[in-house]
Amino acid sequence: MTPKQIAELIQSISVDTVRESDVAARFGAKFTNDGDRNSFIGLLKNTPDFIEAITVYENDTDNVFGIEDLPNVGEAFRVDIKKFSFENELRLFLLRSISNNKASVSDFRAIRIAEIDDGQQFSTVSSNFLVWRNNEEFLPTEVDDLPDPRRFSVDFARPPEVPTDIRPWIVMEWPRKEGSLPSEWIEISSRRLMAALADRVSEVEGLIEYHFDGPPACSFALNNSQLTDIFPRLVAGAKFVFLNESRDADVRHLLLANEWARSYRKASLTDLGDNCVKSAATAYSAYIKAKSSEMLSALSALRKSVLEETEKISEKGHDFARSMWKDLAVAAAPFVIKVLSDAASANNSEIAKYLSFAAAAFLAVSLCIQWFLNERWLSSQEKARGIWRLEANTALNQAELKSIADDPIARSVFDYRAVGVFVTIFYIAIIVVLVQYGRGILTQ
Protein backbone atom coordinates (compact mmCIF):
# COMPACT_ATOMS: atom_id res chain seq x y z
CA MET A 1 0.00 0.00 0.00
CA THR A 2 1.11 3.57 -0.66
CA PRO A 3 1.28 6.20 2.10
CA LYS A 4 -1.86 7.85 0.68
CA GLN A 5 -3.81 4.56 0.80
CA ILE A 6 -2.71 4.02 4.39
CA ALA A 7 -3.77 7.60 5.27
CA GLU A 8 -7.23 6.92 3.80
CA LEU A 9 -7.46 3.67 5.77
CA ILE A 10 -6.47 5.43 9.01
CA GLN A 11 -9.17 8.04 8.44
CA SER A 12 -11.72 5.34 7.78
CA ILE A 13 -11.08 3.19 10.87
CA SER A 14 -9.90 5.72 13.49
CA VAL A 15 -12.43 6.60 16.19
CA ASP A 16 -10.42 9.19 18.15
CA THR A 17 -7.55 11.64 17.65
CA VAL A 18 -4.62 10.26 15.68
CA ARG A 19 -1.45 11.07 17.63
CA GLU A 20 1.20 11.12 14.92
CA SER A 21 4.87 12.09 15.10
CA ASP A 22 7.87 11.56 12.86
CA VAL A 23 8.35 8.03 14.22
CA ALA A 24 4.86 6.71 14.99
CA ALA A 25 1.08 7.05 14.58
CA ARG A 26 -1.17 5.89 17.43
CA PHE A 27 -4.97 5.86 17.49
CA GLY A 28 -8.08 4.04 18.63
CA ALA A 29 -9.85 2.19 15.84
CA LYS A 30 -12.93 0.21 14.85
CA PHE A 31 -13.75 -1.56 11.59
CA THR A 32 -17.04 -0.34 10.12
CA ASN A 33 -17.10 -2.82 7.23
CA ASP A 34 -15.39 -5.97 5.99
CA GLY A 35 -13.59 -4.03 3.24
CA ASP A 36 -11.60 -1.96 5.76
CA ARG A 37 -10.82 -5.09 7.80
CA ASN A 38 -9.52 -6.93 4.74
CA SER A 39 -7.44 -3.91 3.71
CA PHE A 40 -5.91 -3.74 7.18
CA ILE A 41 -5.10 -7.46 7.11
CA GLY A 42 -3.43 -6.94 3.73
CA LEU A 43 -1.36 -4.09 5.26
CA LEU A 44 -0.22 -6.35 8.10
CA LYS A 45 0.76 -9.12 5.71
CA ASN A 46 2.60 -6.86 3.28
CA THR A 47 4.09 -4.08 5.37
CA PRO A 48 5.65 -1.36 3.14
CA ASP A 49 9.35 -0.66 3.50
CA PHE A 50 8.70 2.79 5.01
CA ILE A 51 6.92 1.21 8.01
CA GLU A 52 8.97 -0.54 10.66
CA ALA A 53 6.14 -2.32 12.51
CA ILE A 54 2.37 -2.32 13.06
CA THR A 55 1.02 -3.48 16.41
CA VAL A 56 -2.67 -4.03 17.23
CA TYR A 57 -3.67 -3.94 20.90
CA GLU A 58 -6.82 -4.95 22.75
CA ASN A 59 -8.73 -1.77 23.55
CA ASP A 60 -8.27 -1.59 27.34
CA THR A 61 -5.20 -3.80 27.79
CA ASP A 62 -1.74 -4.33 26.37
CA ASN A 63 -2.68 -7.69 24.84
CA VAL A 64 -1.52 -7.90 21.24
CA PHE A 65 -3.71 -9.27 18.46
CA GLY A 66 -2.25 -11.49 15.76
CA ILE A 67 -3.34 -11.37 12.11
CA GLU A 68 -5.57 -14.40 12.56
CA ASP A 69 -7.46 -13.05 15.60
CA LEU A 70 -8.02 -9.42 14.63
CA PRO A 71 -11.18 -7.80 16.06
CA ASN A 72 -14.35 -8.16 14.05
CA VAL A 73 -16.40 -5.35 12.54
CA GLY A 74 -17.71 -3.04 15.29
CA GLU A 75 -15.14 -4.07 17.95
CA ALA A 76 -12.78 -1.42 19.32
CA PHE A 77 -9.00 -1.79 19.41
CA ARG A 78 -5.81 0.30 19.36
CA VAL A 79 -3.21 0.62 16.60
CA ASP A 80 0.46 1.60 16.86
CA ILE A 81 2.20 2.21 13.50
CA LYS A 82 5.95 2.65 13.88
CA LYS A 83 7.60 4.52 11.00
CA PHE A 84 11.23 4.67 9.95
CA SER A 85 12.68 8.12 10.65
CA PHE A 86 14.82 10.03 8.16
CA GLU A 87 17.27 12.83 8.77
CA ASN A 88 15.88 16.29 7.98
CA GLU A 89 12.46 14.78 7.11
CA LEU A 90 9.09 14.70 8.85
CA ARG A 91 6.74 12.13 7.28
CA LEU A 92 3.05 12.32 8.17
CA PHE A 93 0.05 10.34 6.98
CA LEU A 94 -2.48 13.01 7.90
CA LEU A 95 -2.41 16.74 7.17
CA ARG A 96 -3.94 17.63 10.55
CA SER A 97 -0.97 15.98 12.27
CA ILE A 98 0.98 19.18 11.57
CA SER A 99 -0.81 20.68 14.57
CA ASN A 100 0.49 17.87 16.79
CA ASN A 101 4.05 18.58 15.64
CA LYS A 102 4.02 22.40 15.70
CA ALA A 103 6.86 22.48 18.22
CA SER A 104 9.18 20.47 15.96
CA VAL A 105 7.96 21.09 12.40
CA SER A 106 10.47 23.93 11.96
CA ASP A 107 13.35 21.51 12.66
CA PHE A 108 12.82 19.60 9.41
CA ARG A 109 13.88 20.60 5.90
CA ALA A 110 11.25 18.38 4.23
CA ILE A 111 7.73 17.68 5.46
CA ARG A 112 6.13 14.87 3.45
CA ILE A 113 2.38 14.46 3.86
CA ALA A 114 0.54 11.48 2.34
CA GLU A 115 -2.84 13.18 2.36
CA ILE A 116 -2.02 16.11 0.03
CA ASP A 117 -1.62 16.10 -3.76
CA ASP A 118 0.84 17.79 -6.12
CA GLY A 119 -1.21 21.00 -6.33
CA GLN A 120 -0.98 21.48 -2.57
CA GLN A 121 2.81 21.34 -2.36
CA PHE A 122 4.55 24.54 -1.25
CA SER A 123 7.86 25.72 0.18
CA THR A 124 9.19 28.20 2.70
CA VAL A 125 12.66 29.73 2.92
CA SER A 126 14.07 26.59 4.57
CA SER A 127 11.36 23.90 4.33
CA ASN A 128 9.58 21.98 1.58
CA PHE A 129 6.06 20.57 2.02
CA LEU A 130 5.84 17.65 -0.38
CA VAL A 131 3.65 14.68 -1.23
CA TRP A 132 4.73 11.52 0.59
CA ARG A 133 4.70 8.81 -2.05
CA ASN A 134 7.25 6.29 -0.86
CA ASN A 135 10.90 6.40 0.17
CA GLU A 136 12.00 9.28 -2.07
CA GLU A 137 15.34 10.73 -1.07
CA PHE A 138 15.45 14.40 -0.11
CA LEU A 139 18.71 16.29 -0.71
CA PRO A 140 18.73 19.53 1.30
CA THR A 141 20.47 22.60 -0.11
CA GLU A 142 22.32 25.30 1.78
CA VAL A 143 20.11 28.10 3.09
CA ASP A 144 21.51 31.45 4.17
CA ASP A 145 20.92 32.57 7.74
CA LEU A 146 18.44 35.39 8.38
CA PRO A 147 18.39 37.92 11.23
CA ASP A 148 17.18 36.53 14.54
CA PRO A 149 13.63 37.85 15.24
CA ARG A 150 14.40 37.92 18.97
CA ARG A 151 16.67 40.91 18.33
CA PHE A 152 13.64 43.03 17.44
CA SER A 153 10.70 41.55 19.36
CA VAL A 154 10.64 41.10 23.15
CA ASP A 155 8.87 37.89 24.16
CA PHE A 156 7.20 37.65 27.57
CA ALA A 157 4.98 34.68 26.66
CA ARG A 158 5.61 31.20 28.03
CA PRO A 159 6.21 29.11 26.05
CA PRO A 160 7.89 31.67 23.78
CA GLU A 161 5.97 32.87 20.73
CA VAL A 162 8.80 34.64 18.87
CA PRO A 163 10.65 32.04 16.77
CA THR A 164 14.40 31.63 16.98
CA ASP A 165 14.48 31.08 13.20
CA ILE A 166 12.06 32.87 10.87
CA ARG A 167 12.99 30.86 7.76
CA PRO A 168 10.53 27.94 8.17
CA TRP A 169 7.54 30.32 8.38
CA ILE A 170 7.98 32.56 5.32
CA VAL A 171 6.22 31.14 2.26
CA MET A 172 8.37 31.43 -0.86
CA GLU A 173 6.49 29.18 -3.33
CA TRP A 174 2.71 29.07 -2.90
CA PRO A 175 0.61 25.98 -3.82
CA ARG A 176 -0.50 25.75 -7.44
CA LYS A 177 -4.06 25.27 -6.25
CA GLU A 178 -5.31 28.63 -5.07
CA GLY A 179 -6.48 28.58 -1.48
CA SER A 180 -5.05 25.12 -0.81
CA LEU A 181 -2.41 26.17 1.72
CA PRO A 182 -3.12 23.91 4.72
CA SER A 183 -5.08 25.77 7.40
CA GLU A 184 -3.30 23.68 10.05
CA TRP A 185 0.02 25.11 8.96
CA ILE A 186 -1.30 28.67 8.46
CA GLU A 187 -2.46 28.79 12.09
CA ILE A 188 1.04 27.93 13.30
CA SER A 189 2.93 30.10 10.84
CA SER A 190 0.73 33.20 11.25
CA ARG A 191 1.33 33.28 15.00
CA ARG A 192 5.09 32.94 14.51
CA LEU A 193 5.14 35.74 11.92
CA MET A 194 2.87 38.02 13.95
CA ALA A 195 5.11 37.59 17.00
CA ALA A 196 8.24 38.31 14.93
CA LEU A 197 6.77 41.55 13.53
CA ALA A 198 5.46 42.90 16.86
CA ASP A 199 7.56 44.99 19.25
CA ARG A 200 6.52 42.87 22.23
CA VAL A 201 4.54 39.71 22.88
CA SER A 202 2.86 38.82 26.16
CA GLU A 203 0.26 36.45 27.56
CA VAL A 204 -2.79 37.93 29.31
CA GLU A 205 -5.41 35.61 30.80
CA GLY A 206 -4.43 32.80 28.47
CA LEU A 207 -4.51 34.99 25.34
CA ILE A 208 -1.43 36.02 23.34
CA GLU A 209 -1.28 39.81 22.96
CA TYR A 210 0.83 41.62 20.38
CA HIS A 211 2.15 45.06 21.31
CA PHE A 212 3.24 47.79 18.88
CA ASP A 213 4.95 50.92 20.23
CA GLY A 214 3.68 53.11 17.41
CA PRO A 215 2.86 55.94 17.52
CA PRO A 216 0.07 55.35 18.28
CA ALA A 217 0.86 52.53 20.72
CA CYS A 218 -1.56 49.61 20.59
CA SER A 219 -1.97 46.01 21.71
CA PHE A 220 -4.42 43.33 20.65
CA ALA A 221 -5.12 39.60 20.65
CA LEU A 222 -6.17 37.71 17.52
CA ASN A 223 -7.88 34.37 17.13
CA ASN A 224 -6.84 31.81 14.51
CA SER A 225 -9.50 32.95 12.04
CA GLN A 226 -8.40 36.58 12.23
CA LEU A 227 -4.74 35.63 11.78
CA THR A 228 -5.60 33.45 8.79
CA ASP A 229 -7.35 36.40 7.13
CA ILE A 230 -4.22 38.58 7.30
CA PHE A 231 -1.72 35.77 6.64
CA PRO A 232 -0.59 37.11 3.19
CA ARG A 233 0.19 40.49 4.83
CA LEU A 234 2.22 38.74 7.51
CA VAL A 235 4.26 36.89 4.88
CA ALA A 236 4.84 40.10 2.90
CA GLY A 237 5.91 41.91 6.07
CA ALA A 238 8.33 39.16 7.07
CA LYS A 239 9.88 39.18 3.59
CA PHE A 240 10.34 42.96 3.76
CA VAL A 241 12.02 42.85 7.17
CA PHE A 242 14.09 39.68 7.00
CA LEU A 243 14.73 38.88 3.32
CA ASN A 244 15.78 42.31 2.02
CA GLU A 245 19.33 42.11 3.38
CA SER A 246 20.88 41.47 6.78
CA ARG A 247 21.93 45.09 7.24
CA ASP A 248 19.34 47.51 8.63
CA ALA A 249 16.83 44.75 9.43
CA ASP A 250 16.22 46.54 12.74
CA VAL A 251 15.31 49.74 10.86
CA ARG A 252 12.90 47.89 8.57
CA HIS A 253 11.31 46.17 11.56
CA LEU A 254 10.84 49.53 13.32
CA LEU A 255 9.32 51.18 10.25
CA LEU A 256 6.94 48.27 9.57
CA ALA A 257 5.90 48.00 13.23
CA ASN A 258 5.00 51.70 13.19
CA GLU A 259 2.87 51.17 10.09
CA TRP A 260 1.09 48.20 11.69
CA ALA A 261 0.32 50.39 14.72
CA ARG A 262 -1.17 53.09 12.44
CA SER A 263 -3.33 50.53 10.64
CA TYR A 264 -4.89 49.19 13.86
CA ARG A 265 -8.60 49.93 14.28
CA LYS A 266 -10.26 48.22 17.22
CA ALA A 267 -13.62 48.20 15.47
CA SER A 268 -12.23 46.74 12.22
CA LEU A 269 -9.35 44.29 12.45
CA THR A 270 -9.74 43.38 8.78
CA ASP A 271 -7.69 46.48 7.87
CA LEU A 272 -4.81 45.49 10.16
CA GLY A 273 -1.56 45.50 8.20
CA ASP A 274 -3.19 46.62 4.94
CA ASN A 275 -0.66 48.45 2.66
CA CYS A 276 1.81 48.58 5.57
CA VAL A 277 4.68 47.05 3.60
CA LYS A 278 4.31 49.61 0.83
CA SER A 279 4.36 52.52 3.30
CA ALA A 280 7.30 51.07 5.24
CA ALA A 281 9.22 50.48 1.98
CA THR A 282 8.73 54.14 1.04
CA ALA A 283 10.02 55.29 4.43
CA TYR A 284 12.97 52.87 4.18
CA SER A 285 13.86 54.22 0.74
CA ALA A 286 14.00 57.74 2.19
CA TYR A 287 16.19 56.44 5.02
CA ILE A 288 18.60 54.83 2.55
CA LYS A 289 18.91 58.05 0.55
CA ALA A 290 19.67 60.05 3.69
CA LYS A 291 22.20 57.46 4.73
CA SER A 292 23.91 57.21 1.34
CA SER A 293 25.83 60.49 1.73
CA GLU A 294 27.07 59.33 5.11
CA MET A 295 28.11 56.01 3.59
CA LEU A 296 29.99 57.69 0.73
CA SER A 297 31.86 59.87 3.20
CA ALA A 298 32.75 56.83 5.30
CA LEU A 299 33.88 54.92 2.19
CA SER A 300 36.10 57.79 1.08
CA ALA A 301 37.75 58.09 4.48
CA LEU A 302 38.13 54.33 4.73
CA ARG A 303 39.76 53.96 1.31
CA LYS A 304 42.19 56.78 2.14
CA SER A 305 43.10 55.12 5.45
CA VAL A 306 43.54 51.72 3.80
CA LEU A 307 45.75 53.20 1.06
CA GLU A 308 47.98 54.92 3.62
CA GLU A 309 48.11 51.76 5.72
CA THR A 310 49.14 49.50 2.82
CA GLU A 311 51.78 52.01 1.68
CA LYS A 312 53.29 52.10 5.16
CA ILE A 313 53.40 48.30 5.35
CA SER A 314 54.99 48.08 1.90
CA GLU A 315 57.57 50.67 2.97
CA LYS A 316 58.46 48.50 5.93
CA GLY A 317 59.25 45.68 3.53
CA HIS A 318 61.46 48.01 1.45
CA ASP A 319 63.25 49.21 4.61
CA PHE A 320 63.89 45.62 5.57
CA ALA A 321 65.50 44.90 2.20
CA ARG A 322 67.53 48.15 2.22
CA SER A 323 68.91 47.43 5.69
CA MET A 324 70.12 44.08 4.41
CA TRP A 325 72.47 45.74 1.93
CA LYS A 326 73.79 48.16 4.58
CA ASP A 327 74.51 45.29 6.95
CA LEU A 328 76.13 43.39 4.11
CA ALA A 329 78.81 46.09 3.96
CA VAL A 330 79.64 45.42 7.63
CA ALA A 331 79.69 41.69 6.96
CA ALA A 332 82.23 42.17 4.15
CA ALA A 333 84.84 43.85 6.41
CA PRO A 334 86.64 40.63 7.45
CA PHE A 335 86.92 39.49 3.84
CA VAL A 336 88.27 42.86 2.72
CA ILE A 337 90.92 42.84 5.43
CA LYS A 338 91.90 39.30 4.50
CA VAL A 339 92.19 40.08 0.80
CA LEU A 340 93.91 43.46 0.97
CA SER A 341 96.31 42.70 3.81
CA ASP A 342 99.03 40.17 4.18
CA ALA A 343 97.26 36.85 4.63
CA ALA A 344 100.29 35.34 6.34
CA SER A 345 100.39 38.04 9.02
CA ALA A 346 99.25 36.72 12.36
CA ASN A 347 97.95 40.12 13.39
CA ASN A 348 95.80 40.44 10.27
CA SER A 349 94.43 36.94 10.72
CA GLU A 350 93.61 37.69 14.35
CA ILE A 351 91.79 40.89 13.35
CA ALA A 352 89.89 39.12 10.57
CA LYS A 353 88.86 36.37 13.01
CA TYR A 354 87.41 38.77 15.59
CA LEU A 355 85.82 40.92 12.91
CA SER A 356 84.04 37.92 11.38
CA PHE A 357 82.57 36.91 14.75
CA ALA A 358 81.65 40.53 15.55
CA ALA A 359 80.01 40.95 12.12
CA ALA A 360 78.01 37.74 12.62
CA ALA A 361 76.79 38.96 16.03
CA PHE A 362 75.99 42.39 14.58
CA LEU A 363 73.88 40.86 11.80
CA ALA A 364 71.99 38.64 14.26
CA VAL A 365 71.22 41.56 16.58
CA SER A 366 70.27 43.80 13.65
CA LEU A 367 67.87 41.15 12.28
CA CYS A 368 66.18 40.61 15.67
CA ILE A 369 65.79 44.35 16.28
CA GLN A 370 64.19 44.91 12.88
CA TRP A 371 61.70 42.06 13.35
CA PHE A 372 60.86 43.28 16.86
CA LEU A 373 60.32 46.91 15.87
CA ASN A 374 58.31 46.08 12.76
CA GLU A 375 56.05 43.60 14.58
CA ARG A 376 55.45 46.14 17.36
CA TRP A 377 54.54 48.70 14.71
CA LEU A 378 52.11 46.28 13.02
CA SER A 379 50.52 45.53 16.38
CA SER A 380 50.03 49.23 17.18
CA GLN A 381 48.55 49.81 13.72
CA GLU A 382 46.09 46.94 14.28
CA LYS A 383 44.91 48.61 17.48
CA ALA A 384 44.63 51.96 15.73
CA ARG A 385 42.53 50.38 12.97
CA GLY A 386 40.00 49.36 15.59
CA ILE A 387 39.06 53.03 16.04
CA TRP A 388 38.12 53.75 12.44
CA ARG A 389 36.51 50.29 12.16
CA LEU A 390 34.03 51.33 14.85
CA GLU A 391 33.15 54.43 12.84
CA ALA A 392 32.91 52.46 9.59
CA ASN A 393 30.61 49.88 11.19
CA THR A 394 27.82 52.44 11.27
CA ALA A 395 27.79 52.60 7.47
CA LEU A 396 29.22 49.25 6.33
CA ASN A 397 28.57 45.65 7.29
CA GLN A 398 31.28 43.13 8.15
CA ALA A 399 31.47 41.62 4.66
CA GLU A 400 31.99 45.05 3.05
CA LEU A 401 34.61 46.04 5.62
CA LYS A 402 36.46 42.79 4.98
CA SER A 403 36.44 43.36 1.22
CA ILE A 404 37.38 47.04 1.30
CA ALA A 405 39.80 47.19 4.23
CA ASP A 406 40.77 43.89 5.83
CA ASP A 407 41.70 41.95 2.69
CA PRO A 408 44.01 44.63 1.13
CA ILE A 409 45.79 45.20 4.47
CA ALA A 410 46.13 41.44 5.02
CA ARG A 411 47.71 41.07 1.55
CA SER A 412 50.19 43.87 2.32
CA VAL A 413 51.12 42.26 5.64
CA PHE A 414 51.58 38.91 3.85
CA ASP A 415 53.87 40.54 1.25
CA TYR A 416 55.88 42.24 4.00
CA ARG A 417 56.32 38.97 5.88
CA ALA A 418 57.30 37.16 2.68
CA VAL A 419 60.06 39.75 2.11
CA GLY A 420 61.01 39.42 5.78
CA VAL A 421 61.37 35.65 5.49
CA PHE A 422 63.59 36.01 2.38
CA VAL A 423 65.78 38.63 4.09
CA THR A 424 66.00 36.49 7.24
CA ILE A 425 67.21 33.49 5.22
CA PHE A 426 69.81 35.70 3.55
CA TYR A 427 70.97 37.04 6.94
CA ILE A 428 71.25 33.53 8.35
CA ALA A 429 73.30 32.41 5.34
CA ILE A 430 75.74 35.36 5.77
CA ILE A 431 75.98 34.71 9.53
CA VAL A 432 76.83 31.05 8.90
CA VAL A 433 79.50 32.05 6.33
CA LEU A 434 81.05 34.56 8.78
CA VAL A 435 81.16 32.06 11.61
CA GLN A 436 82.66 29.36 9.41
CA TYR A 437 85.16 31.88 8.05
CA GLY A 438 86.19 32.89 11.59
CA ARG A 439 86.53 29.28 12.65
CA GLY A 440 88.69 28.55 9.59
CA ILE A 441 91.11 31.35 10.49
CA LEU A 442 91.16 30.11 14.07
CA THR A 443 92.14 26.62 12.84
CA GLN A 444 94.97 28.08 10.76
CA atoms within 13 A on the CB side of 35: 3
Q: Give dist(CA 182, CA 120) in Å, integer.
A: 8
Query: Percentage of the chain with pLDDT > 70?
Result: 83
Q: Give dist(CA 358, CA 334) in Å, integer.
A: 10
Residue 27 phi, psi dihedral angles, 5° rounding? -165, 155
- The string of pLDDT tens digits covering residues 304-363 is 666 677 777 777 767 767 776 666 666 666 655 555 455 445 556 666 677 777 777 877
**Other Cβ atoms within 10 Å of 242 Cβ, number:** 25
**Other Cβ atoms within 10 Å of 235 Cβ, number:** 21
- Cis, bond preceding 334 (omega within 30 deg of 0): no
Sorted by where each begins, the domain ranges of the chain are 1-95+104-142, 144-274, 296-443
- The string of pLDDT tens digits covering residues 376-434 is 877 777 776 666 666 666 556 677 677 777 787 788 888 878 888 888 888 888 888 87
- pTM, to two decimals: 0.67
Range list of H helices, 198-246: 224-229, 231-238
Is residue 317 within 8 Å of 419, Cβ to Cβ?
yes
State residue 340's pLDDT score.
Answer: 47
